[in-house]
Amino acid sequence: MFEKKLYKKFLSFAKKDFFICAKKFSTSLKNLKISDEILNQFFENYEKPSFLSFLKRVKDIIYSKKNSEFILKNFTEDWDFWRYLKFLQKEKVIRVKKNGKIEVRNKNFLKNIPEPQTEKEIKRKIEKKLKVKIKPKDLVINLFKKEFKFFPEIKFDQMPISQGSALFLVKKILEYLPLKRKFLFVGDDDFISIILTLVDSEIECTVCDLDERILKNINYLAKKYHLKIETKKVDISKVKKLKGNFVGFLTNPVYTEEGVRKFVKFGKENLGKEGGFGFLEVGDESIGNRFLFLQKFFSKENLIILERINGKIFYPQIELYEEDKEIKKRLSEFFTRETIEKLPKIGASLFIFEFLPQTPKRVKFKKNFYAYL
């Protein structure tokens, strides 16, 4: 596999450059005697990217419309940017022009890496393929009402997000997804797997759910539109892992502390030694300050929070539970019925994680406060 060979070459190149930079250019280390052994431990534990993290950064370079995007997206510095540019040009993957444009020389390399797309591009493709008009504030399940009837099931704690939220989710998955290999959906009552693969039909997905209605409808659409989606009826409270490894997962679990733990844990367990990326939708219905406990849980599971995005994922008004009628009654004290119907029912955060396949170990050595090592 070309990407794997490229990765191994990069690790050798990056380690050599790291040693040079630490010894020759780091002004904060001038008066410190750091052994090669310590530097090697430092690289292996803190600097070495996983295979999929490396590919994601390569993806950021080859698909960037502005050469500043790599630094901003990865909250890194120009030194790191140079390292990737130098290596990729040396390996004849890209050619960097003086005007800042990057030309991809190895076109085959692009075939395996999903291309990022804007929400407008995603919207246009979905409308064309499903022959619908997307209404950003409408329920996502209404995109498929011509295909089948689906109503959320209370016993599975289902509630559909908005169509606009679904477009944003797909945009973020395509932004991070490093390979067109299997992506896992831990539950998919919003049918995001369908939207994702309609936008890029080369992406492979596996959908796990306990609701047979969802699996049946996804299978129907996958067959109709020739999508690479596999479905499995799975109770994640009884099954720990599926066969094979995935490059990433998306889950929209029960919005309780335990619900988040179970669904995220299952998703993470299905990522392999090459790393991967996790996407979690979660709203604060009942969790409150227990988010602090969840942050500790994420760290324990080797999940680094890369982004927490608010204001993009929401649920339109819908009456599923008795309390839904009650809150509308209470809100009517302040608003008209029309105003209430336009309010989001629930707002959710989108957490994006990078999974570290190996737990970093603390490297002990004497240093001063300003030593950037």
At 328-350, the pLDDT tens digits run: 999 999 999 999 999 999 999 99
Nearest CA among 101, 94, 97, 95 for reference residue 67: 101
**Which has more pLDDT, 60 or 68?**
60
Across all residues in the chain, what is the average pLDDT?
91
Nearest CA among 273, 274, 261 for reference residue 301: 261
Whether the per-residue pLDDT at 368 is higher than 70: the answer is no
pLDDT at 106: 83
pLDDT at 31: 62
Per-residue pLDDT band for 144 (boundaries 50, 70, 90) equals very high
At 154-212, the pLDDT tens digits run: 778 888 999 999 999 999 999 999 999 999 999 999 999 999 999 999 999 999 999 99
Least confident of 120-129, 300-309, 340-349: 340-349
The CATH classification number of 119-355 equals: 3.40.50.150
Whether the per-residue pLDDT at 296 is higher than 70: the answer is yes
pLDDT at 32: 66
Per-residue pLDDT band for 92 (boundaries 50, 70, 90) equals very high
**Can you tell me the mean pLDDT for 131-156?**
90
User: Where are the domains positioned within the chain?
Assistant: 2-111, 119-355
At 214-248, the pLDDT tens digits run: 999 999 999 999 999 999 999 998 998 998 889 99
**Can you tell me the mean pLDDT for 60-70?**
86
pLDDT at 303: 98
